[in-house]
Structures are given as C-alpha cells and as structure tokens.
Structure 1
Amino acid sequence: MFRPLKVYFLPFLAQGHMIPFCQFARLFAARGLHVTIITTPVNTRFLESSVEEDKALGHHIHIHTIRFPSEEVGLPVGIENFFNVTDAHTADQFYEAAGLLRNQVEPFMERNPPDCIVSDFIYPWTAPIATRLGIPRIVFNSFCLFAVCMINAYKRQSQSQPELSHDHDHSGGPFVVSGLPEPITLTIRPPRLISGQLESLMEADQQNSYGLIVNSFNEMDGQDYIKYYQKITDLKVWHIGPASLTLRNTKPQKNHHDQTSKEHEYIRSWLDSKDYNSVVYVSFGSLCRFEDPQLLEIACAMESSGHSFIWVVHRESKKKNPRDEKDEKELWLPEGFEERMKKYSRGLILMKWAPQELILNHPATGGFLTHCGWTSVTEAVSAGVPMMTWPVFIEQFYNEKLITQVHGFGLEVGAEEWNSSPCERMKKVVSRVKIENAVRRLMNGGDEAEKVRNKAIEMKDKARKAVEENGSSQRNLTALIEDLKLTAMNRAASKHQT
C-alpha cells in the first residue's frame, strides 16, 4: 500500500488568500493526506486554532513557521499580513519580502520533499522548485475561473486592438469583451497596470503548473468557461469549493459558528429581533478602506433607505490625529446618526471585522452590499443572499459580471473607478443616490428583486448539491487526489527502475 501523500500549501499572506487556502488544506487532511501549511509567525497564530481542531480529529495537518523577512526590506516588525498594509510604498516592500520567503522555503522543501506543492499564484518562484524536485505544482489564485477567462480574453482582445492597452479614461462608456463563450459587457476598462501584472503572473502559472484549483463549483463558473480555460491553457482545473461550505459538509457534526456566535452574541440577538430578509449587510472586505467623504455617503444612503443594516467599516486612518474615536466619527457620520440608529434599532456599525458567515446565514439578512471579493461572494452564494455589487480593485469588476450579467443573483450599484490595488487612493465618490437606489431595488420588493432573490436561492441549492457526498466538488476533490497518488506512484516506480 502506497504511503499517504505529503502536500505543502503556500498561501499568500492576506486574508482573502489564507482563509480559502487553510480550508483547502483541511479538506486534503480530512481525506487522509499529510498536509503542511507554510507561513509566518503572525499568520500562524491566525491559523492555528483551525489546525488544532483538525489534529484533535486525528488529521495529519501541521504549520511550518518561517521568519518573515521584514528587516531585509525595511518593514516594521509585525507587518506580516497584507491587512496591515495601508500605502503603496509599504505594499511594494511587502511584495518584496514575500518574494524573499523563497530563501527559507526552498531549503526546507529540499530537506523534506513533498509529493505536491499547492502554491499561491503570487509565488511563481515555486515553479522551479517543483521542477527540480520532480513534483507537480498546483496553483491557487483566489479568483473564480470566470475572472481568469476574462483576464485572458481581455489580453487577447488588447493584442488585436492596441487602443485598449493605452492609458485611457476608465470611466468611459461600456465595451464588450469578445472571444468568450458569451460576450461580456464591462462598463469601464481595467487599468493597464493591473491587467499587465495579472496577465504576466497567470502566463507564468500556465507555463509552469500542473493545474489549477478553484474556490468555486462547476455550476458557478459554468462548463462553457471550464472548457474555454482548458482549451486555451491545456491545463487541468479542479473546482472543489465553495471551500467553507465543503468543509462544513465534511464535518457536519460541529456547528462551525459556535465560537463566533458566543463572542458576538449581541449581533445574533440583534438579528433575531429583525424580520426575515429585512437586513442589509454592508462589508467591503479586509483590504478596502474608504475615506471619510465616501463613508458619509454610505451612512446617508443607509439611513434614507429605511432598511436595517449591519455595516463593517474600514476607515482610511488619519495619522497623528489628536481626536479620539468618538470625535473621529463626526467626520464621516451625519450628526446624531448613531443615536438615531440605536434609538430605532436600525443599524449596527462594526469596526474592521465581523462574523461574516454568521451574519450571511441568518434568516434576517436579505441583501449584501459587497466589493465582490471572491471569498465574500462564495460565502454569500452558500447562504443564498443576493448582492448589491460595488467592485473596487483588481479582479472584482470581473466577479461583478459573473454575479449580475451571467447568473443574475445581484444588482450593480454603479461603481465608476477600477483601482489597481487596495492601496490606491480613490478619486471618485459613489453617491448616496446610487447606493440608496441599489438598496431599494433589492430590498423594497417587486418583480426585479424577486427574480434576483430566486436566482440567489437557485445558486445556493446548486452550491449545496456540489459539496454533497457525490456532488461535483467532492468528485473533483477525489479526482485530484487520485491524480496526485498516481503521479507519486509513477515517480516512485521510475526512481526504483533507475
């Protein structure tokens, strides 16, 4: 009998990458593989509770901690997660430090070679390591496959239409991305910088990887797009998500919200007091930080919409500001806003973090105002919550089109600015009129809202079927593991013969 496979996971050090990466690692360990997650001290503390829980179940999953090279790039000690990066200069230093992780990862892998590397696409340097060790490298890029196809199609279209790759006003009129299974209309064009960076990283991955794992399910991206990707890359692709839902289905005996609900009982109690589908959840992920004028527009829109809400705020901080937090709120909230929201039990404002899965899965939550980060999208789909889409940076505008144009389980707010990174300052403010209009369109009922809600429920049902015992995501995970086992046995046989 062949020994258990040994797989190393290397996530990029940001929440939107680490959360699904850890979930995938746990799924592999639950199938009997010996799994090691390689990360840094601060991020180890973020992951270790989940890992210890799985160890208690007898799963072989470990964290190998390596030093984050802060000193080499001039970063303060302790900044080891992109969540703590707030400006472009620090972002450049962070990416440089992430590249230097190779100096520790490579010797560790050479001393303790695995059977497979699951690498973040931001680490193209794992490709030559895998080649030298003679093992497969599987890529995870935290995007949906639809976004990957959009990036590829836009690149091809730009090569045939040079005017698309010039600097331009991104707020210009809509245009159609062609060459895909269906024409997709973008309201604004992607910035040249982000297009170039993503295209180069993906091109490197396509040339130096065994295949791609996706935090989604077949029915979400669609068979046409899966076939399109395989045709243009000749690579294997495995949809084994939504990772959080697959994991929950793998361990049904435990309530995965228990710890969170104990820590945030007041949120659960507040939601319990609300009617079915009456609350709007407003969150833009861990990296998007709005400045005061934009926060003020959101506050005014939510109040005038007449609907209850939970709002997670990431504010662009003002350094060395002598005001305390209470006075600071005067800069981005209408006068008396918090008092009115409390008096009528209309809204909760949470600073920086919220138990998102708990909120999305509560029956009172009827809509999600979101930046379209992929982890947030998969959690909303798993809960059957329709979305009001407000993309901000990187691939989020592509995700929006999958939500609104391809499947129809969301409505667009009307964002007009596509940023290259979360550290880029936003030049435009989305008006309270646009925000309120999107909230009312979804939450006030009517034919359009009913259609969107039905689509969200339909996609939730498909997601849940995908993670069932014989669902598409479970079959894909089985196929991937069997593929890796066969590759490892063939490699062992080849070594034995030589």
Structure 2
Amino acid sequence: MKKVEVVFIPLPAMGHVIAAVELAKLIVERGNQISTSVLIMHPAPDPSTAKYTESLSASTLPNRMRVVDLPSLEHTAVSNTGGNWMASLADAHKPHVKEFVSKFKTQSELSPDSPRLAGFVFDSFVLGMEDLAEEFGVPWYVFSASGAAFIGSMLHLQALHDEQKVDLFEFENSDAELEIPSLVNRFPAKLLPSIVFHRQSFSTFLDAARRLRKTRGIVVNTFKELESHAVDSLSNGEIPPVYPVGPIVRSQGNDYDFGSDRINDYKDIMQWLDDQPPSSVLFLCFGSWGSFSIDQVKEIACALEQCGHRFLWCLRKPSSSKAKIESPSDYLNFQEILPQGFLDRTVERGKVIGWAPQVEILAHKAVGGFVSHCGWNSTLESILFGVPIAAWPLYGEQQFNAFEMVIELGLAVEIKIDYRNDFFLDGSKVIVSSDEIKKRVKFAMEQDSEIRNKVKEMSQLSRKALLANGSSYSALDLLIEDMMKNIA
C-alpha cells in the first residue's frame, strides 16, 4: 500500500492552530496510509499559541503525525499592522517551508517504504505559498477555521469587487443589506469584518477569496446539519469541492496545552464548577484576544451582580501597545479593574479568572449559558456541548458569526452583534449598559426556552455527524480518498 504525507500550514493564531492540529489528527487516525506534518510559523502574535505548540510533544500525538516549529523570524521581518502581518509572515517563511519539504522529499526518495508528498493544506489566510505546491508538483487544499457561510461571503464580496466593480468601502457604517448566496437572510453590510474596510488589509482578504477558487478542495470546520443552506450554496459546481468535516474542537482530557503553570488553576476552576448545581453557571469568555475598557468591565460587573445567576468570568487585560498587534494579558489583581467590593459581594456565587480551559468548562454539567465573542471555534464548542450563547462579537469575522447564530440559525441571543473592538480600533467607543447585558443574559439562561431546546437538538446532530456514516465522517473519507489519488 502506498504511503503519503500531507503538510499543514495554519495561521499561527490559537484557534487556527488548534483546528489544524485536530484535523491532522483525525486524518492520520482515519487514513492508515497517511502521515501529517503541521508546520508552525513564528513569531505568533499570541504567546499562548507558542505555549500550546511547545506542549505538543510526540507522546501527545498519534503515530504518523508531527508538529514542527519553523525557525522564528525577527519581529522586524513581519509587518505587525492590521491584516498585513498574515501575508508578510507567510512570505517570510516560504524558504523555511521549502527547506523542510525538500529534505522530506530527498529522504522519501532514498527509501521506497517512506511516504510520498501528497499535498499541502494551507490555512485560508496563509497566502502566497501555493507556488511551493506547484514547484513540488502536488495539489494544495485550503482549510477554513471559519464556517461555510463565511466562506460564501468571501467569495461573494470578491465577485462584487472584481466582477461588478462595487466599492466595498462604501458599506462601512451604512444601512445597506447584502444578498449573500450562503445566507437565507439579507445581511447588514456594516457587520462585515473590519479587514474589508481598511485599505492596508483589504488586499489580503481579496487574495484569500480569489485563491479559494483555485484550490483542489476547501476543507471547512462545520457540519452539514448546522449550515445546510451554506454548504449547498457552495456545492454548485462553480468552485472546488467543499468538505464539511466538523465540528473539530480540542479534545477533552488533554491537559498538555494547559502547561505546568496552569494545572493548579485548572483544578481550582473545575472544583468550583463541581460545587455548582446543573446548568446554573453563566460562563463569560471572549477568546485569547478579547478584552474590554474599564468602563465596559464595570457595566458587565454590575449586570452580573444584579442578574442573580452564578457566573464564571474570564477577564483579560487589554494590550498596552497601540503600535502593534499584541494579545491581552492577565490582571495581577482583579481589584484594580472591578468595582469596589464586587468580589466580596459575589463571592458565594461568582468566580473571576484569567486563563480559562474553555472546552472543559463548556463540557461541565454546571454551565448553562455562554457569553461569547462568537469566534468560530467557540461557537462550535458551545453547540457540541449544548450550551446557549449570548453573542457579543469583538473582532475578525465574529460579527458575521453572531449574525448567523442569532438571525440565520436562531441558536443564540444577541447582546450586541454590531459591537467592534479589534486590532484596527483604539478600543470600542460604545458602552453596552448593564441593564441591556442583564436582560440578554436572562434570555440565555432560561431553562426551557426555544433557543436552549434548539441548541440541544443541534448538539445531538453535531455528534451524529462525527460518527460512522455521519455527514462529517463521510466528508472526511472523501477528502482522504482524494488525497490518496495524488500519488500514482
């Protein structure tokens, strides 16, 4: 039997790396003749990404899989502004990728039993490396850590710009609504990602969309039952085959990405949850890049104090740098940011934390609601574990995801889906009031609501999709079959 090797190159951001690693695991566990290498580019903008990849030792990975750190670049070699860092990082790492693959090719040619290179899987925003695949004479696939509907929106916007000459910058803060084929409902243009409205990064977005039309196949972290309309809209024969293989989330019980300095935090958090009644805890977490101003933090604290629900709040400190992209950090003392006496008044029913083991928390029976930034990984995790979301997007395509969850699919309640607090802004000027937060949180925590029942139903469908003969299981089989064809 022929053996093949597939090389993954994710964007070095936490959500993208985790999804790529988990997909690579699935492929080697399903395909007995496939090996995978996940190449990690450095420097990563988020220190937690580096900690995660460092912890992926050979003992934590299945056979025939490896995670390889590429040489770290000097920060001066990578643009650290807006969306440009993605393109400049990939361009600067091309020689390192070429060197790695060349060595692999040489070794495989010396041994007839060694795997043969079968292709690359590039993150949807790792641009410019497809010429390496052509140089080595193998196909390349795109892996999207976003959903199918968002992939459809990228293709639609690129067509509007390239074919119909629409000026997309005019949509910023407008009341226009777009008819996007991957959505049933009309989409408010002002909810498009900020990257679309900034000229220095807009070309990155367009290039990413254009290359979707040139790839061998588009692998999407979603499942047919969740985004049936979107998946069908992408299966019209006009673009390469789409493989919905999700939900791909980090495996529970693997504490390798916590790091030794996190083990005590993890035990403390899980012990606290063990002491709470079922479905009673509201979990607030906004991703590795999520943070708020002092004024907004006080409104959230006021809402939590008044709503009466138990809560577990992951609170991060905003970056102090305005000159470059830099992730939030942990507060040394929560007293410096929270209202005076808040921790004492809520000590019996609330817990404020910095780092959070999100998958384990969402899987815990005590958690009954999730105030989330609607990153796609977080969205899939909440669905998998049947926890309703209160949507509060911050950056990236999260406004799009929030719209899809609240309006398109009816699987979440809205806190404020047009909120923005991303890399392009000097903090959000909008403050969501404690009264509004409290009202929306109560909707999310209702125990027999229509939304909770719909989320529970979708949770069951997500698990079935991953089982033998399920939609995602079958899609992964088709992907592996296609990869195996690449070696004669």
Q: Provide the TM-score with structure 1 as the length reference.
A: 0.82
Mapped contact 2:90–2:127 kept (Cα < 8 A): no
Equivalent in the alignment of 2:104:
112
Q: CA deviation at 1:15?
A: 0.2
Per-residue CA shift, 1:22-63, capped at 9, x if unaligned? 1111112223321111125785652354452355x5x11122
Mapped contact 2:278–2:367 kept (Cα < 8 A): yes
- Select which of 220, 227, 233 maps to 1:221: 227
Matched, 1:481 2:480: yes
Q: CA deviation at 1:91?
A: 7.5
Q: Report the more deviating stretch, 183-192 or 14-23.
A: 183-192
Alignment of 1:416-427 (within 5 A): 416-418=418-420, 421=423, 425-427=427-429
* Consecutive unaligned residues in structure 1, runs of 5 or more: 76-87, 249-254, 490-498
Mapped contact 2:361–2:367 kept (Cα < 8 A): yes
- Select which of 186, 203, 209 maps to 1:203: 209
- Cα gap change, 1:199/1:217 in structure 2, threshold over 3 Å: closer, same or farther? same
Task: Determine the C-alpha separation between the residues in 2 that align with 1:173 and 1:371.
Answer: 23
- Cα gap change, 1:469/1:408 in structure 2, threshold over 3 Å: closer, same or farther? same
- Select which of 96, 106, 131 maps to 2:88: 96
Equivalent in the alignment of 1:281:
283
Equivalent in the alignment of 1:442:
444
Per-residue CA shift, 1:331-385, capped at 9, x if unaligned? x31110111122xx2211111x211111101111111000100110111111010
Equivalent in the alignment of 2:155:
152
Q: CA deviation at 1:325?
A: 5.6
Task: Determine the C-alpha separation between the residues in 2 that align with 1:216 and 1:74.
Answer: 31
Per-residue CA shift, 1:287-333, capped at 9, x if unaligned? 122221111111111111111111111221457xxxx9666733x31
Task: Determine the C-alpha separation between the residues in 2 that align with 1:125 and 1:230.
Answer: 25
Mapped contact 1:124–1:204 kept (Cα < 8 A): no
Specify the code of the residue in structure 2 equivalent to 1:237: V
Q: CA RMSD in A?
A: 3.1
Mapped contact 2:78–2:88 kept (Cα < 8 A): no
Q: CA deviation at 1:152?
A: 3.1
Report sequence identity in percent.
Answer: 25
Per-residue CA shift, 1:155-191, capped at 9, x if unaligned? 5567899887244662x54735354452234383426
Equivalent in the alignment of 1:67:
71
- Cα gap change, 1:69/1:262 in structure 2, threshold over 3 Å: closer, same or farther? closer
* Consecutive unaligned residues in structure 2, runs of 5 or more: 44-48, 106-116, 322-329
- Cα gap change, 1:151/1:421 in structure 2, threshold over 3 Å: closer, same or farther? farther
- Select which of 380, 385, 389 maps to 2:391: 389
Equivalent in the alignment of 1:5:
4
SS in 2 for 1:112: helix
Mapped contact 2:281–2:312 kept (Cα < 8 A): yes
Mapped contact 1:157–1:177 kept (Cα < 8 A): no
Specify the code of the residue in structure 2 equivalent to 1:228: S
- Cα gap change, 1:364/1:197 in structure 2, threshold over 3 Å: closer, same or farther? farther
Task: Determine the C-alpha separation between the residues in 2 that align with 1:437 and 1:199.
Answer: 36
Q: CA deviation at 1:229?
A: 1.6
Specify the code of the residue in structure 1 equivalent to 2:478: A
Mapped contact 1:44–1:63 kept (Cα < 8 A): no
Per-residue CA shift, 1:454-485, capped at 9, x if unaligned? 01001100001011122111111111111111
- Cα gap change, 1:341/1:15 in structure 2, threshold over 3 Å: closer, same or farther? same
- Cα gap change, 1:453/1:165 in structure 2, threshold over 3 Å: closer, same or farther? same
Per-residue CA shift, 1:392-444, capped at 9, x if unaligned? 12211111122122221210112433456476532222222221111012224
Specify the code of the residue in structure 1 equivalent to 2:73: P
Per-residue CA shift, 1:56-107, capped at 9, x if unaligned? x5x11122322121154389xxxxxxxxxxxx64975675344301121123
- Select which of 324, 331, 339 maps to 1:334: 339
- Select which of 352, 371, 374 maps to 1:372: 374
Per-residue CA shift, 1:261-297, capped at 9, x if unaligned? 9642222221122222111110110012222111111
SS in 2 for 1:219: coil
Specify the code of the residue in structure 2 equivalent to 1:36: S
Task: Determine the C-alpha separation between the residues in 2 that align with 1:22 and 1:66.
Answer: 15
SS in 1 for 2:24: helix
Q: Report the more deviating stretch, 114-123 or 410-419.
A: 410-419
Q: Provide the TM-score with structure 2 as the length reference.
A: 0.84
- Cα gap change, 1:212/1:51 in structure 2, threshold over 3 Å: closer, same or farther? farther
How many residues matched? 454
Task: Determine the C-alpha separation between the residues in 1 that align with 2:312 and 2:285.
Answer: 8
Specify the code of the residue in structure 2 equivalent to 1:126: M
Specify the code of the residue in structure 1 equivalent to 2:98: E
SS in 1 for 2:449: helix
| The structure with more helix, counted as a fraction of residues | 1
Equivalent in the alignment of 1:125:
128
